Structure 1
């Protein structure tokens, strides 16, 4: 069976690395007396930014090398979906407490998450990429 390269996952991994770098260099306001803002800063801290960089970089290498053994595409898609869903929920909660409308960052993160889900539902057959 000949496999195709998962270009959508490659683009998502580049976005994940860029988001990790953006959160590293963007130091938000931290109010430890307000639990929502303090929890958001935990998601924007070094451990979560490192997980964005590691997962995004690992998936980028996986897709560039066109590696398909051991359900690698499926595991990478699940990891990316979990990370982006966590940030979607966190940004949505922050918007709910901070302002009356949803920010453009939350909307864009939602579109990336929806693209990952659509990619997973329509291009995988038994955990193998069938693009």
Structure 2
């Protein structure tokens, strides 16, 4: 069976690596007196940025090598969706506490998450990428 390369997952993995790099070099202000804001700020700390880099880099290598065994595309899509959903919720809660409107970063993260969901719902059949 001839498999197609999952280009959408490749673009999402590049976005994940870039987001990890941006969060590493962008040190946000932390206010320990506000517990919710302090807890949400943990998503922008070094371990979470490292998870973005590792997962994004791993999925990028997976898609460049066109590896399709052991439901690798499906597992990578689920992991990417979970990570982007966590960041969407985090940025949305942070926006709710900091400003009266939703920021552009939250909207863009939402679009990436929606693209991952659409990709998962319409391009997988029994866990196998069908292009």
Tell me, yes or no, whether TM beats 0.5.
yes
Which deviations, in whole Å up to 9, do the C-alpha atoms of 1:85-122 show, x marking residues without a partner?
00000000011111110000000000000000000000
Q: Where do 5+ consecutive residues of structure 1 fail to align?
A: none
> What corresponds to 2:32 in structure 1?
32
> What corresponds to 1:50 in structure 2?
50
> What corresponds to 2:103 in structure 1?
103
Question: In angstroms, what is the RMSD of aligned CA positions?
Answer: 0.5
Which deviations, in whole Å up to 9, do the C-alpha atoms of 1:12-47 show, x marking residues without a partner?
000000000000000000011101221122100011
> What corresponds to 2:94 in structure 1?
94
SS across alignment from 1:29: coil
TM-score, normalised relative to structure 2? 0.99
Which deviations, in whole Å up to 9, do the C-alpha atoms of 1:29-83 show, x marking residues without a partner?
0011101221122100011000000000000000000000000000000000000
> What corresponds to 2:72 in structure 1?
72
Query: Number of matched residues?
Result: 131
> 2: CA distance between counterparts of 1:76 and 1:10?
10
Q: Where do 5+ consecutive residues of structure 2 fail to align?
A: none
